[in-house]
Amino acid sequence: MTTPAEQQKKLSFTRLLKNFIFISLGAVIAAYALEAFLVPNNVIDGGIIGISMIISHVTKFNLGLLVIILNAPFIILAFKKMGKLFVFQTAYANIILALALNFFHEYKVTGDILLATVFGGIILGTGVGLILKNTASLDGTEILSLLVSKKFGFSVGEFIMGINLFIYLVAGKVFGWESAMYSILTYFIASKVIDIVMEGLNSSKSVRIISDDAGAIGNALIERLDISVTYLKGIGGYSGQDKDIIYCVISRLELPKMLEIIKEIDPKAFVSVFDVQEVYGGRFRKKIDKI
């Protein structure tokens, strides 16, 4: 019989192994997107990879080596900020990416720049999303942004946007402005795909309902949607009266049905809906697994 400590050790090893498998897969997918779609058509990514692609084009220096060299200082900087595991996994991801870039070198799938932009962005986003989801990174600018944002008062998003704006301006000079515009489109597509990979297609919604018929609505939601609800206490700002607030988390597929039920019982009910990135525990997870 295994002890709790042994079970925890086994779970940690299994989780680490899973991380490295998906990081490897993500790096290979990202390399394929770069060499098969983007690099041959002079379309670049943002961040360190984008800078590496520009330098490689101008100097003919190996792209894989450039990615490792340019990312190395940021990976070292991340040691204190992110911890040893993140640094090790990020370094591993960059090494696999470099090897895969050389393996897929000059493996051109299409010369149509629009197809290369769209499919390159989708495939690149999938690969990068898998890496980020498993606690690693391919881009040193994200690490730098975390350090700089606190020191100079920029948000992480503002800093990354500023860096990428500079990169695409340089790309316009090197590759031409049409290529720079296609590169921006690739970055946008890849960003959206990363979000899908990170959050999943079964995105969740957090719902708050304020109604004088809160009890009836809550019971109907439990019975007809088989979800769990929580009642919160509030006070009306104008009336000063006590209000019951219903709080629950549902899948996006269940939202239209929920709104229909609420309108049946109280057409004047106030409903606010928010996106939820991740949900843990409770009956919700079981419900999602059935969808």
Q: Which domains does the chain have, with CATH numbers?
A: 4-199 (no CATH), 204-290 (3.30.70.120)
- The two tokens of residue 182 are 């296609």
Per DSSP, 109 falls in state: -
Asked if the model's pLDDT at residue 171 lies above 60, the reply is yes
pLDDT at 280: 61
Task: Name which of 55-59, 192-196, 207-211, 240-244 the model is least confident about.
Answer: 240-244
Q: Which of 43-52, 118-127, 184-193 has the highest mean pLDDT?
A: 118-127
Of 185 and 12, the structure prediction assigns the larger pLDDT to 185
Asked if the model's pLDDT at residue 93 lies above 70, the reply is yes
pLDDT at 74: 84
pLDDT at 66: 92
**pLDDT, average across residues 89-100:** 92
Q: How far apart are CA 273 and CA 253, in angstroms?
A: 13
Phi/psi of residue 281, nearest 5 degrees: 75, 180
The mean predicted confidence, pLDDT, of the chain is 82
**Exposed e or buried b for every residue in 203-224, given b needs 16+ CB within 10 A?**
ebbebebbbebbeebbebbeee
Give residue-wise pLDDT tens across range 221-257.
Answer: 998 888 889 898 888 777 777 788 999 988 776 787 8
Asked if the model's pLDDT at residue 288 lies above 50, the reply is no
50: nearest Cα among 42, 60, 61: 42
Give residue-wise pLDDT tens across range 23-41.
Answer: 999 999 999 999 999 989 9
| Residue 26 near residue 32 (C-beta atoms within 8 A) | no
pLDDT at 162: 80
- With pLDDT > 70 as the criterion, what percentage of the chain qualifies? 82
Of 116 and 161, the structure prediction assigns the larger pLDDT to 116
